[in-house]
Amino acid sequence: MWLEQIKINGYIILEHAEQSGVIGQGKMDPFGVEANFFPYLLADWFGHQISIKIIKSIKKNKMNSLVWIFFIKKLNN
């Protein structure tokens, strides 16, 4: 599990774009979850082992897509 690779009080930083949702999944990347459900999924997977901070922003590219930056901190439980 990837959380085991992180030290206590260490962070995982994930960028989740609109294309990271269900509409963007395919054979090369079969996992897709909508950003508004992602914190609930993380809580279901990891419970009180993590804390989550979310920053909503806009990706500066041609499409100016919405992105969510998830700061996932591994807690000492």
pLDDT digits (tens, 9 = 90+) for 24-67: 566 666 567 888 888 999 999 999 999 999 999 988 877 788 89
- Residues 44/20, Cβ–Cβ less than 8 Å: no
User: What pLDDT score was predicted for residue 11?
Assistant: 95
CA dihedral sign, ordered 60, 62, 65, 29:
negative
User: What pLDDT score was predicted for residue 77?
Assistant: 73
CA dihedral sign, ordered 14, 18, 19, 24:
positive
pTM: 0.78
Q: Please give the structure tokens belonging to residue 46.
A: 């990891």
User: What pLDDT score was predicted for residue 15?
Assistant: 87
Domain parsing of the chain, residue ranges: 11-72
Alpha-carbon distance 30 to 33, whole Å?
10
User: What pLDDT score was predicted for residue 6?
Assistant: 93
pLDDT digits (tens, 9 = 90+) for 4-29: 899 999 999 988 877 666 665 666 66
